[in-house]
Amino acid sequence: MNKRIYLCLAHMSGQEQKYIQEAFDTNWVVPLGPNVNAFEEELEHFVGQDKKVVALSAGTAAMHLALIGCGVKAGDEVLVQSFTFCASANPVTYLGATPVFIDSEAETWNMDPTLLERAIIDRIKKTGKKPKAIVPVYLYGMPARIDEILSIANKYEIPVIEDAAEGLGSRFDGQVCGTFGRYGVLSFNGNKMITTSGGGALICPDSESKQRIMFYATQARESYPYYQHEKIGYNYRMSNICAGIGRGQMTILEKHIAHHRHIHYLYKEMLADIEGISLQENPSSRSDSNYWLSTILLDPDLRIKGEEHAYETIRTDCEPNRNVEATRMGLDTAGIESRPLWKPMHKQPIYRNSPCYLNGVSEALFKRGLCLPSGPCVSDEDVAYIVSQIKALLP
Ligand SMILES: *Cc1c(COP(=O)(O)O)cnc(C)c1O
């Protein structure tokens, strides 16, 4: 074995250097400039729906500014999908607000609309005020039940911030994920669908809100000939160099999405005859996942070689089943990176005091699931090798 197969490594188009060179040649080596503007226009064209896009230094920054855009302040509550990466929830605490975690439904693994409504009613009853925003996530690219979530959000007049960091290019009823709510968060970290090395963007409803987000992203400078500050701002704008990488990446965005889907269908074909292992798939023709990461579930009764050595050194009170850990270790030895699903936020020590509305779905998935290599650097041969190594771990 001479190479290691990773979950999702960045892959360059070859065009990136041209845009970076342009930035150097024209001395736009700053957090604004022609690449930033052009990257935003290209993203606006891609997402459609007459949305406006602000390019930022990270997806986490985009989430932070979206919450500010929804008026979230200290003491407020925000309803956040529990089954997610911490960056969906942490910016709520940056503002001194409290995330209230909502469990998932079993089909899409995303925010359960029934629990969402129950939580809204209960929070109003317990606190006397409405939560300030709702944050559903497109986990591993899978579209959430955004139509139902939106109709509940509209009923109670609470804005929705879609965390589409993993869902760039996924669609629900043909519409790009991230364009349904008031704001949509995108990430261009090194492991996402496309990369700017690090970076993110916020999809905004109109030019006015784009201007407002831009204001907060650039230290809240008021329009005076001197620096006048009437609000607390942030230094969150994307650099013109990173945006150059983004422009190069936009030329292969569709190709990347197609590749992730292709890898998913290869796994589906090759894993079909293995009993006890299932692959997460679009639950209906309304959902069109970008399959950012292909994910499998292991039946708790499935025996895997080396299970007796799982968790010899490290334990918490909520961890994946031994057969999942044994699969991860076995693949690791074979030069293959895999990773358990996101550990739900309501099981994270840091959020143990946050209110949560649960049905057991995300915790059960966390105990059974594993993410497999899915990125643009994963070849057909790699998938065949990965599946053969999974089979080799079966008794
Ligand atoms: C990656 C990610 C983010 C944050 O994006 P960064 O660009 O890494 O700050 C937010 N939410 C989810 C679900 C993510 O996977």
Digit-by-digit pLDDT tens for the chain (395 residues) are 568 999 999 999 999 999 999 999 999 998 889 999 999 999 999 999 999 999 999 999 999 999 999 999 999 999 999 999 999 999 999 999 999 999 999 999 999 999 999 999 999 999 999 999 999 999 999 999 999 999 999 999 999 999 999 999 999 999 999 999 999 999 999 999 999 999 999 999 999 999 999 999 999 999 999 999 999 999 999 999 999 999 999 999 999 999 999 999 999 999 999 999 999 999 999 999 999 999 999 999 999 999 999 998 888 989 999 999 999 999 999 999 999 999 999 999 999 999 999 999 999 999 999 999 999 999 999 999 999 999 999 98
Determine the atom of ligand 1 nearest the C-alpha atom of 188.
7
Instruction: Give the residue, out of 80, 86, 170, 189, with the most ligand 1 atoms within 8 A of its beta carbon, to mutate for a pocket test.
Output: 189
Q: Ligand 1: does its nearest atom lie under 6 Å from the Cβ of 115?
A: no
Determine the Cα–Cα distance for residues 37 and 42; give it in Å rounded to an integer.
Answer: 9
Instruction: Say yes or no: CB of residue 163 within 6 Å of ligand 1.
Output: yes
Whole-model pTM above 0.75? yes
Phi (first) and psi of residue 52, to 5 degrees = -110, 150
CA angle 189, 191, 197 (to 5 degrees): 40
Q: Which atom of ligand 1 is nearest to the CA of 198?
A: 7
What is the whole-number distance in angstroms between the Cα of residue 63 and the centre of ligand 1?
Answer: 9
Q: E-strand spans in the chain?
A: 52-56, 77-81, 98-102, 133-135, 161-163, 171-172, 175-176, 183-187, 200-204, 277-279, 287-288, 294-298, 339-340, 356-357, 369-372
